Every structure is written in C-alpha cells, then in structure tokens.
Structure 1
Amino acid sequence: MKFFIKNIKIFFIFQLLASCIPFKDTLYLEKNKDKVADIEINADAYKPYRLQVDDIVAIEIKASNPKDVEIFNKTESKTTGTVTQDQLYFSGYQVDGYGNIRIPVIGLLNVQGQTVDEVSKLLEKKLLEEYFTAASNLFVTVKLAGIKYTINGEIATTGTNTVFQDKLNILEAIANSGDIPITGNKKEVVVMRKIPTGYQSGTLDLTDANVINSPYFYLKPNDYIYIKPLKQKSTGLGLNGLQTLTTTLSLFGVLTTTYLLIKNL
C-alpha cells in the first residue's frame, strides 16, 4: 500500500508540474521588454505595399466638372455612410491573374507590383494624355480596399476579417478576434503570406518584445494566421495550479478507492 501511494504521489506531482502553464508564457512582449527602446523596427514593415493578384483597390476620379469623369467611375462617390467589404468587392477593382485591372473607357491597366501611389500617378498621367487637360483639375485617388486576413486555431473568434486602415500588426489582428486564450501558444504563432511565386511563412514569439522586428509583425493583405494549441490542453489535468490540483486530488481518490476495493476482494 505504501509503495502504491508513494508512486502515485510521484506521478501526480510530475503531472502537476508538467501541466501548469507558466505565467510568463501568457503575457505579450514580456521577454526583453526592458530593451524595447533599443530594438530597431524592421524597415520593410514601412515600405509601401505592392499590389498582387486578387487584391482589390478603390479608385475615385474627380475633376472640376464632375460630369466629365462620371463615365470613368464604376459607381457614384458616396460622401456619407460606411463602406463595407461587400460593397468594395463589387465597386472596387480586383487585380486579375495577369496583374491587370479593367477601368471603364480606359480598359486594362497593369498594376501588379506597384504601390497605390504609383497606380494613382500612372492613371492620372494616362487620363491627362488621352482625355483631359490640366485645366480639368484632375484628381485621382487610389486606395487598397482594406487589409483582409484570416485567423484560425486557438483564438476566441476564428474567421476572415477586413480592417480599413493602411497598417495592421499581428497584435491588433489578434485583439480584433478576441485575444488568444490561455490554451493558445503565444510562442508559436504562424503567419502564412502570399507572394508572387507562391507562399512563405514565419513563426512569431509574441511573448518576446523582439517580435516587432519581424517582417511578419505587420500583416499584409490575405495573410493567414494560425495559433497553435499548447500541449497542456491535451493532458486534461488543468491549465493552472488550482485546476490541476483539483483534478489530481479527484483522480487520487478514485485510484485509492479502487486499490482498496481490489485489495479486499
């Protein structure tokens, strides 16, 4: 009996230590937090995004006489109300498999690999050369129709989201999806990114302040984020000390009762 109890105790103590999630692993940017001022932010994160196949851009062309440019705009400009991703899907210009967008009257315009500012200048130049003069006071605005990303795994709310802003980092995307629960592994967050030649991926440790220097810290359109579950989730013994202790005591009681019943048979 003593030998049995001794071994059971050793087993449960080991499980108690192994199943608990360290507090530091539940915090964001905890590691190297005192050196944040010395961390250089990746310059690539601030380089203008270059358009790829399947991206959607919103284009608005204005002139002194609005009627002169009506034919070039897909829809009339909306000065009030909130623009949704659904509306942009139909009113925006999607980059096709050849890197082109099709604009009324103008026709195909290759935009793949260009920034929105470059597309705006290219379009304005083409309009001035073929349809307008400087007296028309032409003004062309080209914007990326939001940053769309998909998030999956150990996250409060999975799915595809679109954020209407120019920059979006991984922490903001996670906050938009309800945060990573205690069962999620903040040290191994995978970001899969579409590039002209296919896909590439990187793994982020969100507990380390150095993550802000990663080229994957700032998201790009159509990124896929996957949060891995912690191994402790599969043990079933609990995610913190109290849960594990409660489960351990219950199992210990069951095993002890079972042992005594078998012994007395």
Structure 2
Amino acid sequence: MRKSLGISLLFLLLLISSCVPTRKITYLQESKQFKNDSLITFQKVQSPYRLQINDILSIQIKAPFDPELVSMFNVSGDTNAGAQGMQANQGSQGAGLYFNGYTIDQRGDIRVPQLGKIKALGLTLEELRELIEKRLFTEYFKDNANLFVTVRLGGLRYVLTGEVGGKGEQVIFRDQVTIVEAISNGGGVPITGDLTNVRIVRQYPDGVKVHHLDLTQLDVVYSPYYLIQPNDMIIVDPLPQKAIGTGTTGLASFTTIISIFTTLITTLLFVTNL
C-alpha cells in the first residue's frame, strides 16, 4: 500500500514539475503595481552608440547647388547628391551597403573618396557627421554652401542564439529596436525558451559586459538595455523541462509520464512474480 502511494506521489510530482508554467512563456506581464490598460512609458533615449570595427556606414552628401562637386565623394558612382542606392528589401539593402558602404577597418578608419582616411572608431554618428562636414567645408565647399551630410549605420545588426526560432546574425533597418522586436524578428522564442533570464552580451570600448533581462515582466521596459545596440548578442537559455525531456505541454508531459509509469509498473510486476 505504501509503495503504491509513494509511486502515485512520485507520478504527480513529475507531472507538475514537467509542465511549463504560462507565466514563464508570456511576454511583458503586468505586475500588481500596474493597472489594466495603464500607460507605461520607457526611456527611448539611451547613451549614444560608439562606432566599432567592422561597422558599415551609409554616408550621404547633398549639395543641390554643387552637384558636380558632390559627385566626387560618391562611392557607387550615383551623381544624385551622393546618395547611395537602397533597394526595396532588407536583403538587398544589406548587400548594397556591404559593397558600397563605408566599413570601419581594423585601424578604426573609413576611407572616403577625396577626403581619404577618417578616424571613426569610438565616435558617435553625430560626431562623425560633424567631422566629415567640417572637412568638406575646410577643403572643398564655401561657408555659404547648402551642404547636408547624413551618417547612418547600415542597419542595426545583432546576433540571436540559444533557444530561439532563428539563430545567427539579424539585421533590422531602423534606428531603434527593442529586445522583444529583435527576438520576434528572428523567429521568436519557442515554448522551451526561458524568457525570465535573457542575456545580452554587449561590446564596450573597454571590453564585454553581460546584461540580464526578464522579458516576462512589464517592468523590463524601464531597463536601459530594453533597446538593443549594434553588435549585441542575445542569448535565450532553454527551460529545465527541455533538458529533462518530459514534454513542453501538459498533454505531452502526461503522455510521457504515463509511458514511464506503465513501464515501471510492468517491470515491478514482472520482478514480483519471479
């Protein structure tokens, strides 16, 4: 009798522990301090990104009254105000920028036609824009020239790995991307992924740091790491249920444990009857 009771308790314990709770697979759940439909704001302004080696830049130089002069600084040969051609889809955009964009080399420089090498490593986009604009005014354009310089990253590139729908490098052609959007863009997280401890491995001038985010809590929007940065590596670990191998849903767990329980009883009866 006690043996049967013990086996039943063990069966129930395995069934309960093997199921994935809904709270661990639901994004941005409201806590008690938030009311339903309450307005939640998050900090959209973060520390400006500092350019790193291998970043690809899109640099556009426009001067409507000096089209011939502007054409000298065009990489792709397009004479339309120095703008670099952008295709309709993101894949074409990435390929176009790879061949026609400005890549920061191992020394931290970019090479701009006529201007030569420009040190870009460690600068913000705004600082690099001001530097290029200053060089152009000093060496080529008059002070009253209607010069307009735009410097942008060639898409926000990051790496997604771990328990996710799609692994590898991802690119989103926007200036700001949240971590939820970044994960969704890569195929999302399956039911076996742990949303409570998503890691961001981020590069800084002095090294690499790891930041942890709980994407099941709405409070995460207040985190300074809720908006990702270029070259971030986003890692989603699997839940213990996957390692145990008992199933991800209640039905799957129940089916697996019933099979184990049946095998155990059959073995026990066989041994008892020997």
When normalised by structure 1's length, the TM-score is: 0.91
Separation in structure 1 between the aligned mates of residue 32 and residue 217 of structure 2, nearest angstrom:
7
Q: How does 1:24-103 map to 2 (within 5 A)?
A: 24-32=23-31, 35=34, 41-42=42-43, 45-63=45-63, 64-75=65-76, 76=78, 77-78=83-84, 81-82=87-88, 83-103=92-112
Conserved? CA contact 1:152–1:227, under 8 Å = yes
Q: Deviations over 1:79-138 (max 9, x none)?
A: 663352122122111223333211111112122333222322221221111112145422
RMSD of Structure 2 on Structure 1 (CA): 2.1
Matched, 1:250 2:259: yes
Separation in structure 1 between the aligned mates of residue 52 and residue 40 of structure 2, nearest angstrom:
30
Conserved? CA contact 2:87–2:93, under 8 Å = no
The equivalent residue for 1:114 is 123
Deviation at 1:26, TM superposition (A): 1.3
The equivalent residue for 2:10 is 11
Separation in structure 2 between the aligned mates of residue 212 and residue 223 of structure 1, nearest angstrom:
18
Conserved? CA contact 1:33–1:208, under 8 Å = no
SS at match of 2:248: coil
Q: How does 1:182-221 map to 2 (within 5 A)?
A: 182-221=191-230
SS at match of 2:227: coil
SS at match of 1:165: coil
Change (3 A) 1:78 1:122: closer
SS at match of 2:61: strand
Amino acid paired to 2:61: I
Matched, 1:147 2:143: no
SS at match of 1:143: strand
Amino acid paired to 2:46: Y
Conserved? CA contact 2:59–2:150, under 8 Å = yes
When normalised by structure 2's length, the TM-score is: 0.88
Q: Deviations over 1:192-248 (max 9, x none)?
A: 001111111101100111111222211110100110000011222222322222222
Separation in structure 2 between the aligned mates of residue 224 and residue 95 of structure 1, nearest angstrom:
20
196-205 vs 249-258, which moves further: 249-258
Separation in structure 2 between the aligned mates of residue 205 and residue 79 of structure 1, nearest angstrom:
40
Amino acid paired to 1:224: M
* Residue 262 (structure 1) aligned to one of 264, 268, 271: 271
Separation in structure 2 between the aligned mates of residue 34 and residue 179 of structure 1, nearest angstrom:
28
Separation in structure 2 between the aligned mates of residue 47 and residue 156 of structure 1, nearest angstrom:
30
Deviation at 1:250, TM superposition (A): 1.9
Conserved? CA contact 1:33–1:209, under 8 Å = no
Separation in structure 2 between the aligned mates of residue 33 and residue 217 of structure 1, nearest angstrom:
21
- Among all aligned residue pairs of Structure 1 and Structure 2, give the percentage whose two residues are the same amino acid: 40
SS at match of 1:32: coil
Change (3 A) 1:179 1:128: same
Q: Which runs of 5+ in 2 are unaligned?
A: none
Separation in structure 2 between the aligned mates of residue 192 and residue 206 of structure 1, nearest angstrom:
16
Deviation at 1:49, TM superposition (A): 2.4
Change (3 A) 1:195 1:80: closer
Deviation at 1:184, TM superposition (A): 0.3
Separation in structure 1 between the aligned mates of residue 214 and residue 97 of structure 2, nearest angstrom:
34
Deviation at 1:145, TM superposition (A): 0.9
